[in-house]
Structure 1
Amino acid sequence: MARDYASRRPGSWLAAAAAALLLAAQGIWCQKVRVEEELEAYPTESVDLRCQFIDGGGLTKLTQVSWIWEPVDGQRDNIAVYHPVYGESFPNLSFKGRVAFLHNRLENPSIRISNLRMSDAGRYTCEYATYPSGNEQGTTTLIMLAKPRNSANVVTVQAGTKSVVVARCEAADGKPAATIKWLASVGGNHSTSSTSGPDGTVTVRSEYRLVPTAADNGREVTCMVDQRTQERPWVNSVKLSVEYPPSVSIEGYDNNWYVGRSDAALLCLANANPAPTTVTWTAASGPLPETVVVDGNRLEVRKVDDAVNTTFICEVKNKHGASRHQITTFVSEALEDPSSAGTVAGVVIGSLLALLLVVALIAVLLTRSRRQQRRGYPSSGDSIATGSGGSNGGDYGNKARLLFSSSANNGSKNGGTGANNNGPIYTYREGCDATGTLTE
């Protein structure tokens, strides 16, 4: 019937809508208790809950005001009451000594709660008893915040084939709950769980897991915690701790051990976590040679001889196991002293140079001798001078052989007759030129 009536009257639905808006507006303007809608606070701090009664016409009579705490739905506890005649009252023992009125006036019954606790969170209602309108109220929601206590740590594990927890990150007793992320270059995954405390705080825990290897030891994983109370994310990096048995190698052998060498040594290197507990040197041929001295992971040969022509073995142990490595050394004959070799080389080179010098000198002397012989003794094809006035057009050098017969001389005196049985006469001319003239 109502629907039919409204449909028969034009604009009736508009009237109904206007009435609804008017009622809403009256409800808004009739709100006489002014409070803050929401506040945030931290433990051990203080907070002011403000309340003020607004009476535009001054027709409302205030009887008393109360602050009512609602920690959860359905629970209402008076924590502070003010009466203009009877004064203040604080009936809730959990707020005793922590709550106080700021102005002691009905029109402005604001309170302060000190030494806040996480359990103080909830709704706080400022409620007036008035005449003639009855009770008037306004509600403020108090949100308690807590900064989490963040931490990150590694879990020492042993290298293996199963996925295990290698690092943990925790954001304890925070409100609201924190979120945790991991940043890592190693392959792995994480799981997160949370636990609520009796005071409304939340503890968030996250575990990072992987299959650990020796190569993962010392690598970094980073935990990042984000939470409302923090200005920026909390970041902390930790280094993984993976334990494993030793792996061993030997260094120092240069394939040049010769008899008499005094600077030969071997070094046993081990990669292990934790550090090796023992390092042992042995020889495959039996006891270590007398010329060998062992100092931890170093084996030093004081003087190389045939006794070190063997196989040396280094064994390393830690709590997770043992490992060994061996190397065979070969000893060659003694090498010449570099200084004596240099001396011998110098002598050889000097002897060769001296020999070359002698050969060159002999060659020069032979050449000069041959030249002088050719100049002093003419060959059979040359003519010989027959007199002082004779001319032959040849040069016989400093030495010339002249043949004179006594018959020639006598012939010049005796008319060219007579004979001379004397033999040939050899004479030497000094400094003669081509004409037979004597020179200086």
Structure 2
Amino acid sequence: MARHDARNVPARMIGLLFFAASILLRHGTSGQRVKVEPELASYPGQTVNLRCAFPDPTGIQLTMVTWIYEPKDGERMNIAVFHPSYGPNYPESQMKGRVTFKPSPPELSSPSIEISDVRMTDEGRYVCEYATYPDGNEQGITQLVMLAKPVNSATTVAEVAGTKPVVVARCESRDGRPAAKIRWVTTAKGNWTETSKTGADNTVTVTSEYRLAPTPTDNAKDLTCLVNHRTQLKDESLPLKLTIRYPPMVEIEGYDNNWYLGRTNVGLLCKANANPVAHTVQWTTMTGQMPDTVLPKENELKVLKVDNSVNTTFVCEVKNSIGTTREQITIHVREPSKTDSNAGVVAGAVIGSLLALLLVAALVTVLVARSRRQQQGYRANGGSDMKTRIFGGGKKASKNGTSGGTGSGGVAGGNNNGPVYIDRSPNQGLGEKNNHHQPFTMGARPEVVTGTPTAQDILLSNELDEAERRKFDEMEDEERYDHFAGGGPILQLRPPPNPDDMIGDYMDDDMESQRDGSVISRTAVYV
């Protein structure tokens, strides 16, 4: 028996499933036959048109249509009824006097209604329900959304820095419909909470609070409230800056750990960061006595001259409305540095530069003097100097510069041509410089006084290079005095004013030392 029931269960279940499917299919099809707008939005004071239609009543009979209002919170109510035989009717409701069928009188196939001067409390679901035969009731639902643009605002809340989270900013979207959505954008480390409140006119006020444990570093940080609402094309941005109050944060600057005895123009600076701004800055010392060489002025402490009294601890005390902060620094006065000061270095550099300039000037002077001596020597010797160097003295000349033999026709082993002295000055005779003269004998080589060569002689002798020296040596070898075919030496002199003093100073001034050791006159012309 049990087995028989088990075999009959599947057949019974299949029958029930087919019955349920037919009911669902029937209701689903009929529900789609009533045409309405799913949602409609409006602002307070406007007029809205709720459309409804039954475009294909084939196979059924439409008997009556009813509009029903379903508020979000509350009981549903009929607001408009139309019967083909009895016409339209408007039962008691909050819309009576503001709701009508359009067109009037309406048609049963399209019984749309119009609500004027809509209110925020009119928001809810509106059902267009048909009574049909034989299918029963068919309906379509429209959601009426009332819109109200909110008033958005944001403010900061000044809080004292601490360790507990507190509200530091508040953002509000007031009297909006639907409710706004709020979020925060900031680098501060906090979070936010949100609350909403519905007003008597069905509008909603949303409030969001930003909380954090404030620190001095959070002061003046950027914080932005973003409000999103259906009535806005984009999010409304409300920028803020956090306001965190805190006591002074003090730091002393200016000490470089190199305050030595006698140092001047140093000092300390007391820097304070506070909110609100510090109103009092006071300098003291741990001993209670301020050194005579120290001048405090507001947040600056000037030290006119460092002495042993500055070797102390200075205290800077800063106050604002939140609190008082003290900071101190200990000064260690050192002995003066033994190294040369900058002035000594500068003086040394200046002296060194002057010495270098003097050395350069001396070198230039020597070069100029040498050049002048060379030019004077060339002018004094003229064209006859070369002749004198070639034909006078030479390697064969004796060391004392005197003649090697006698006779009117020549000199044994020497040059047969004697020097001819010519007085080049127009009015002054040779030898007037020293007024010392000595008579000469015609035909004999003049006596040459030997001596130490002067600096000018040495400079002049170095003018000829090795090639020129070799050239002169070859010429001397080829043109020896004993092969020279000429007459006896001729020495012509203009008689000096005092012939007795001629030889003395005149010859000393006139003689010039040569490289080969001979001495030749500067004014004599050898022919």
- Smaller-chain TM-score bracket: 0.5 to 0.7
Which of residues 336, 349, 352 in structure 1 aligns to 2:354?
Answer: 349
TM-score, L = length of structure 1: 0.61
Counterpart contact for 2:126–2:144, Cα < 8 Å: no
1:270 aligns with 2:272: yes
**In the alignment, what sits opposite 1:124?**
126
Corresponding residue for 1:217?
219
Amino acid at match of 1:243: R
Q: Does the CA contact (< 8 Å) of 2:130 and 2:139 recur in 1?
A: no
Letter in 1 for 2:139: G
What displacement does 1:271 show? 0.7
Give the superposition deviation at 1:117: 2.8
Q: Give the match for residue 489 of structure 2.
A: none
Secondary structure of 1:95's aligned partner: coil
Tell me which amino acid in the other structure corresponds to 1:70. Answer: E
Number of equivalences: 386
Matching residue of 1:142: 143
| 8 Å Cα contact 2:33-2:55 kept in structure 1 | yes
- RMSD value, Cα: 5.9
Question: 1: CA distance between counterparts of 2:405 and 2:156?
Answer: 131
Which residue of structure 1 aligns with residue 70 of structure 2? 70
Letter in 2 for 1:142: Q
What is the rounded CA distance, in whole Å, between the counterparts of 1:106 and 1:280 in structure 2?
90
Q: Which amino acid aligns with 1:71?
A: P
Using the alignment, how far apart are the partners of 1:75 and 1:436 within structure 2? 153
Cα distance, 1:100 vs structure 2: 3.3
Alignment of 1:12-411 (within 5 A): 34-36=34-36, 38-44=38-44, 45-54=46-55, 56=57, 66-71=66-71, 75-81=75-81, 90-92=90-92, 94-96=94-96, 98-107=98-107, 108-127=110-129, 138-144=139-145, 146=147, 149-172=151-174, 177=179, 179-196=181-198, 203-225=205-227, 232-233=234-235, 235-251=237-253, 267-281=269-283, 286=289, 292=295, 294=297, 297=299, 304=304, 310=310, 313-325=315-327, 345=350, 349=354, 353=358, 357=362, 389=406, 397-398=448-449
Is the alpha carbon distance of 1:99 and 1:331 closer, same or farther for their aligned partners in structure 2, counting shifts above 3 Å? farther
Q: Distance in 2 between matches of 1:346 and 1:432?
A: 46
Whether the aligned pair in 2 keeps the contact of 1:305 and 1:331 (CA below 8 Å) is no
Does structure 1 retain, via aligned residues, the 8 Å contact 2:199–2:205? yes
Report the Cα offset of residue 49 of structure 1: 0.8
- Match of 1:102, SS state, is strand
For 1:162, the aligned partner's letter is K
Distance of 1:127 and 1:351 partners within structure 2: 119
Deviations 1:82-119 (A, max 9, x none): 57798765554632554333210331331222343332
Q: Give the SS at the match of 2:106.
A: coil
- State the AA in 2 paired with 1:104: S
SS at match of 1:209: strand
Alignment partner of 2:324: what SS?
strand
Deviation for aligned residue 1:39: 1.4
| Alpha-carbon distance, 1:318 to partner | 0.7
Matched AA of 1:69:
Y
State the Cα distance separating 1:397 from its structure 2 match: 4.8
- Counterpart position of 1:423: none
* Structure 1 residue 58 displacement after superposition: 10
CA 1:350–1:396: 2 relative to 1, 3 Å:
farther
Asked if structure 2 preserves the Cα contact closer than 8 Å seen for 1:152 and 1:169, the reply is yes
Structure 2, unaligned runs of 5 or more: 374-398, 415-444, 452-501, 513-517
The answer to whether the Cα contact below 8 Å between 1:145 and 1:229 also exists between their aligned partners in 2 is no
Which secondary structure does the structure 1 equivalent of 2:155 belong to?
Answer: strand
Contact 1:432/1:439 (<8 A) preserved: no
Deviations 1:267-326 (A, max 9, x none): 4321111111223355777569699584x545678xx45799747654321111122445
* Partner residue in 2 for 1:408: none
Rate the CA distance shift 1:87–1:271 in 2: closer, same or farther, 3 A: same
Q: Indicate conservation of the 8 Å contact 1:289/1:307, yes or no.
A: no
TM-score for both structures, normalised by structure 2: 0.52
How far apart in 1 are the matches of 2:511 and 2:141? Answer: 153
Name the CA distance, whole Å, in 2 between partners of 1:201 and 1:244.
40
Deviation, structure 1 residue 247:
1.6
Q: CA deviation at 1:347?
A: 12
Amino acid at match of 1:101: F
Gaps of 5+ in 1: 369-381, 401-425
Distance 1:61 1:36, change over 3 A: closer
CA separation of 1:134 and 1:13: change in aligned 2, threshold 3 A: closer
Output one character per residue of 1:209-264: Cα deviation in whole Å (capped at 9) or x when no partner.
33222122222344455566665555545332221111223445676899897x77
Name the CA distance, whole Å, in 2 between partners of 1:91 and 1:347.
119
Any idea what SS the aligned residue of 1:320 has?
coil
Displacement of 1:126 in angstroms is 3.3
* Cα 1:285/1:395, change in 2 over 3 Å: farther
Whole-Å Cα distance in 2 between the matches of residues 325 and 395 of structure 1? 106
The one-letter amino acid paired with 2:48 is: V
Matches of 2:160 and 2:91, distance apart in 1: 61
- The Cα shift of 1:157 comes to 1.6
